[in-house]
Chains A and B, each alone.
Chain A
Amino acid sequence: MVDLLTGTIRTATPILLAALGGLICERAGIFNIALEGLMLFGAFFGIFGVYLLGNPWLGVGMAILITTLLAFLFAVLIVRFHSDPTITALGVNMLAEGITTFSMKFVFGDQGSIHAAQVVGLPKVRIPLLEDIPGIGPVLSGYTPMVYISWILVAACAFLLYRTSVGVNLRMVGENPKAAATAGIPVTRYQVVAITVSGVFCALAGAHLSMGYVTMFTENMTAGRGFIAYTAVVFGKADPLMVLLASLIFGAAETFSYRAQQFGNIPSSIVMMMPYVITIIALLVRRADTKKKRRPACRAA
Chain B
Amino acid sequence: MKRTAQKFAALALALTLALGLLSGCGPDAPSGSSPAQSPDAGGGALKVALVLTQSLGDSGPADDMNNAMKRAVEDFGIESTTYEALQPEQYEESLRNFAQNGCDMVVASFPGMTEAVRKVAADFPDVKFVHIYSAEDYGLDNVVSVDFACWEANYVCGVAAALVSESGQIGHIIGGEDNTIRANYHALVEGAQSVNSAAAVEQINAGTFDDPAKGKEIALSLYGKGVDVIIGDAGKVTLGIIEAAKETGNYIIGDASDHSSLAPGNVLMDTALGFGAAVYDQISKLVDGTFSAGVGAANYANGGIATTKNTSLAENCTDEALKGRLDEIWDKVAEIEGQIADGTLVVEKVTQ
Q: A95-B20, A268-B177 are in contact. Are A218 and B210 (CB under 8 A)?
A: yes
Q: Please give the residue numbers on chain B whose beta carbons come within 8 Å of chain A beta carbons, in ascending order.
A: 2, 5-6, 8-10, 12-13, 16-17, 19-24, 55-59, 62-63, 66, 82, 177, 202-205, 207-208, 210-214, 216-218, 220-222, 224-225, 236, 239-240, 243, 262
Cβ contact within 8 Å between B8 and A111: no
The answer to whether A219 has its CB under 8 Å from any CB of chain B is: yes
In the complex the two chains form, what is the Cα distance from A209 to B215 in whole Å? 13
CA distance A7 to B219 in the complex (A): 11
Question: Is the CB–CB distance between A94 and B17 below 8 Å?
Answer: yes
Q: Which residues of A contact B2 (CB under 8 A)?
A: 82
Partner of A105, one of B23, B210, B216: B23
Evaluate contact between B236 and A113: CB separation under 8 angstroms.
yes
The CA of A252 and the CA of B211, in the complex, are separated in Å by 18
Nearest Cβ on chain A to B234's Cβ, whole angstroms: 12
Partner of A91, one of B17, B56, B62, B82: B17
A-B contact count (CB 8 A): 144
Provide the main secondary structure of the chain B interface. helix
Closest 5 A/B residue pairs (Cβ): A112-B57, A94-B20, A81-B9, A268-B205, A83-B9
Complex Cα gap A98–B17 (Å): 9
Q: Which residues of A contact B8 (CB under 8 A)?
A: 81
- Bound together, the chains give a CA A82 to CA B243 distance in angstroms of 45
Closest A residue to B240 using CB positions: A214
Give A215 to B212 CA distance when docked, in angstroms. 10
Chain A nearest CB from B259 CB (Å) reads 10
Q: How far is the CA of A113 from the CA of B6 in the complex (A)?
A: 38
Chosen A-B contacts, 22 in total, with CB atoms closer than 8 Å, are A14-B213, A82-B2, A82-B5, A83-B10, A88-B16, A94-B21, A95-B20, A98-B20, A98-B22, A99-B22, A101-B23, A110-B63, A112-B58, A115-B262, A216-B212, A220-B210, A221-B210, A221-B211, A255-B217, A258-B204, A259-B221, A262-B225
**Nearest-neighbor residue (CB-CB) of B59 within chain A:** A113
Is B239 within 8 A of A113, CB to CB?
Answer: yes
Q: How far is the CA of A269 from the CA of B82 in the complex (A)?
A: 34
- Expressed in whole angstroms, the minimum distance between the Cβ of A232 and any Cβ of chain B is 17
Contact A92 B6 (CB under 8 A): no
A200 to B17, CA, bound (A): 23
Q: State whether B57 touches A104 (Cβ < 8 A).
A: yes
Residues of B within 8 A of A112 (CB): 55-58, 62-63
Query: Which B residues are CB-close (under 8 A) to A11?
Result: 217
CB proximity to B under 8 Å, residues A248-300? 254-255, 258-259, 261-262, 268-269, 272
Judged by a CB distance under 8 angstroms, whether A213 is at the interface is yes
Tell me if A36 counts as interface (CB < 8 A to partner B).
no
Q: Which residues does chain B contribute within 8 Å of A216, judged by CB atoms?
A: 212, 239, 243
A171 within 8 A of B: no
Provide the bound-state CA to CA distance between A144 and B87, in Å: 36
> Does A27 touch B at the CB level, under 8 Å?
no
Residues of A within 8 A of B239 (CB): 113, 115, 214, 216, 218
Tell which of A91, A215, A258, A268 touches B20, judged by Cβ atoms closer than 8 Å.
A91
Residues in B with CB closer than 8 Å to A262 are 202, 204, 221-222, 225
Bound-state Cα–Cα, A259 to B204, Å: 9
Q: Once the chains bind, are B221 and A3 in contact (CB under 8 Å)?
A: yes
Chain B residues with CB below 8 A from A10, complex form: 217
How far is it, in angstroms, between the C-alpha of A3 and the C-alpha of B219 when the chains are bound? 12
Taken residue by residue from 41 to 80, chain A's Cβ proximity to chain B (1 for < 8 Å, 0 otherwise) reads as 0000000000000000000000000000000000001001
- Contact, CB under 8 Å: B57 / A88: no
Extra A-B contacts (7), CB below 8 Å, given A91-B16, A91-B17, A115-B239: A81-B12, A82-B5, A110-B57, A111-B59, A221-B210, A261-B205, A268-B177
Residue of A nearest to B236 (CB): A218
Q: Is A158 positioned at the interface, with any CB of B under 8 Å from its CB?
A: no
The CA-CA distance from A83 to B8 in the complex, in Å, is 9
Assess A255 versus B23: contact at CB under 8 Å? Given A110-B66, A113-B57.
no
Contacts of A254 in B (CB 8 A): 217
Interface contact A219-B57, CB-CB below 8 Å = yes
Bound CA–CA A272/B262 (angstroms)? 29
CB contact under 8 A between A92 and B16, given known A80-B5, A223-B211: yes
Contact of A255 with B262 in the complex, beta carbons under 8 Å: no
Of chain A, the residue at the smallest CB distance from B5 is A81
CB pair A102 B218 closer than 8 Å = no
Task: From B20, B21, B63, B212, give the contact of A111 (CB < 8 A).
Answer: B63
Q: Is the C-beta of A130 less than 8 angstroms from some C-beta in chain B?
A: no
Contact, CB under 8 Å: A213 / B213: yes
Expressed in whole angstroms, the Cα–Cα distance for A115 and B239 within the complex equals 9
Known: A113-B57, A258-B217. A218 touches B21 (CB 8 A): no
For chain A, residues 7 to 44, give those with C-beta under 8 angstroms from any C-beta of chain B.
Answer: 7, 10-11, 14
Contact A111 B56 (CB under 8 A): yes
| Nearest opposing residue in chain B for A104, CB measure | B57
Please state if B9 and A82 are interface contacts (CB–CB under 8 Å). yes
Q: How far is the CA of A274 from the CA of B225 in the complex (A)?
A: 22
- Which of B6, B177, B205 has the most A CB atoms < 10 Å from its CB? B205
Residues of A within 8 A of B205 (CB): 261, 268-269, 272
> What chain A residues lie within 8 Å of B236 (beta carbons)?
113, 218
CA distance A213 to B244 in the complex (A): 10
Chain B residues whose C-beta falls within 8 Å of the C-beta of A3 in the assembled complex: 221, 224-225
Q: Does A175 contact B (CB under 8 A)?
A: no
B51 CB, nearest partner CB in chain A, Å: 15
- CB of B222, distance to nearest CB on chain A (Å): 8
CA distance A254 to B203 in the complex (A): 16
CB <8 Å contact, B23 and A97: yes
Picked from B6, B56, B62, B243, the residue with its CB within 8 Å of the CB of A214 is: B243
Which residue on A lies nearest to B12, using beta carbons? A77
Determine the distance from Cα of A102 to Cα of B228 in the docked complex, in whole angstroms.
Answer: 38
B63 cross-chain contacts in A, Cβ below 8 A:
110-112
CB atoms of B217 and A261 under 8 A apart: no
Q: B57 touching A209 by the CB < 8 A rule?
A: no
Interface residue? A87 (CB, 8 A): yes
